[in-house]
């Protein structure tokens, strides 16, 4: 029997990862540390001016796009639905997806391809200033049964909640098509601003929900143990990540604490995305919750060792070998 097929939907972005010496630039830009802030093109240009003399790394990104990249490298069939510009960054995004074996269900816009400037402090904490550009052009009419056809799991990026009509249409279409729906809450400030819509989604459509400690508290008002229990009462499977302590995974009344798999931190960009990649890949391969969680923890531990959310082929080969004995 083949693996389940996973389709991700989210913001198609190119990440500009910048390693900082301290938090001075973050403070001068008045960005909330450790979160993602949506900015307009003018502010994005200002941020890029501020980092002009800093060391930068250009990689394709977007939360769910990062996860789909990880899923593809675990040899699970997958696709990505998003919108890019008709520009060099858009072509870079599409070519990389094809090279990774991802089915790119991309829509092209006249707007420039979105970009996320990741400001990474010593210790690995990252703050994102994101200009959505073409990513914001994704429309409810783009969510068609034809695009969902052939997939089994639909992974929705929480950042899409700013477009209420889009995210609700996506969830309803996937539910009607019989797909398992997974949602990542994405960022605590996203949850704070859109809590009512996210509650409606989780309570009525979502089967698997991912949250970190801050997101879970913003959603439930509870600490991690109580939060994962609350979330597991709202959907089928709940995951609450607690940093160095690992992650709680709960289905019904059965709960596992999945230990973190490593402690070397260069850049936390993509840690949550890669945890989701490993976990959903495990589900797609028929693993139990604990093994799926361990695979998620393994991927997260490897991506935080490097700047950005990409691993080289040697690293993926090692990960796939470890997967066999988890």
User: Residue 226 sits in a domain of what CATH number?
Assistant: 3.40.1190.20
Q: Are strands 126-131 and 114-120 parallel, antiparallel or unpaired?
A: antiparallel
DSSP 32: P
Whether residue 33 is contained in a domain is answered as no
Helix (H, G, I), strand (E, B) or coil at 36: strand
Whether residue 34 is contained in a domain is answered as no
pTM of the model: 0.90
Whether residue 221 is contained in a domain is answered as yes
Whether residue 20 is contained in a domain is answered as no
Q: Name residues whose C-beta falls within 8 Å of residue 11's C-beta, 6 or more positions apart in sequence.
A: 62, 63, 64, 65, 82, 114, 130, 132, 135, 138, 157, 159, 160
Whether residue 43 is contained in a domain is answered as no
Question: CA-CA distances (angstroms) from residue 11 to 4, 93, 158, 159, 254?
Answer: 23, 11, 10, 8, 33
Residue 1 pLDDT greater than 70, yes or no: no
| Cβ atoms of residues 259 and 243 within 8 Å | no
Q: pLDDT-based confidence at 34, cuts 50/70/90?
A: confident
Scored b (16 or more CB within 10 A) or e, 206-227 reads bbbbbbbbbbbbbbbeeebeeb
Whether residue 285 is contained in a domain is answered as yes
Q: pLDDT-based confidence at 267, cuts 50/70/90?
A: low
Residue 264 pLDDT greater than 80, yes or no: no
Total domain count for the chain? 1
Whether residue 191 is contained in a domain is answered as yes
Domain that holds residue 260: 6-12+61-113+133-323
Whether residue 56 is contained in a domain is answered as no
Whole-number pLDDT of residue 308 = 67
């Amino acid at each position: 029997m083949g693996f389940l097929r996973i389709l991700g939907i989210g913001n198609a972005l190119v990440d500009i990862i910048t390693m900082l010496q301290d938090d001075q630039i973050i403070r001068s830009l008045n960005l909330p540390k450790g979160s993602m802030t949506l900015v307009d093109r003018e502010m994005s240009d200002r941020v890029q001016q501020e980092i002009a003399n800093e060391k930068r790394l250009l990689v394709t990104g977007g939360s769910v796009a990062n996860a789909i990249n990880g899923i593809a490298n675990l040899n699970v069939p997958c696709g990505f639905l998003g919108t890019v510009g008709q520009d060099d960054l858009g072509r870079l995004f599409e070519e990389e997806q094809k090279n990774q074996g991802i089915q790119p269900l991309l829509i092209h816009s006249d707007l420039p391809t979105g970009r996320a400037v990741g400001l990474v402090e010593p210790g690995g904490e990252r703050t994102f200033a994101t200009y959505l550009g073409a990513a914001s052009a994704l429309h409810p009419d783009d969510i068609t049964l034809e695009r969902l056809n052939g997939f089994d799991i639909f992974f929705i990026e929480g950042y899409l909640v700013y477009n209420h009509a889009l995210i609700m249409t996506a969830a309803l279409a996937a539910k009607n098509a019989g797909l398992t729906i997974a949602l990542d809450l994405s960022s605590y400030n996203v949850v704070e601003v859109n809590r009512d819509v996210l509650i409606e989604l989780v309570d009525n459509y979502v089967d698997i929900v991912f949250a970190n400690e801050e997101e879970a508290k913003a959603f439930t008002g509870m600490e991690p143990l109580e939060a994962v229990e609350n979330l597991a009462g709202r959907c089928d499977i709940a995951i609450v990540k607690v940093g160095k302590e690992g992650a709680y995974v709960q289905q019904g009344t059965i709960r596992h604490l999945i230990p973190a798999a490593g402690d070397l931190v260069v850049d936390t960009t993509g840690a949550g995305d890669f945890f989701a990649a490993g976990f959903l890949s495990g589900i797609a391969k028929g693993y139990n919750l604990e093994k799926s969680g361990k695979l998620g923890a393994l991927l997260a531990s490897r991506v935080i060792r490097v700047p950005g959310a990409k691993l080289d082929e040697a690293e993926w080969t090692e990960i796939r070998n470890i997967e066999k004995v988890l």
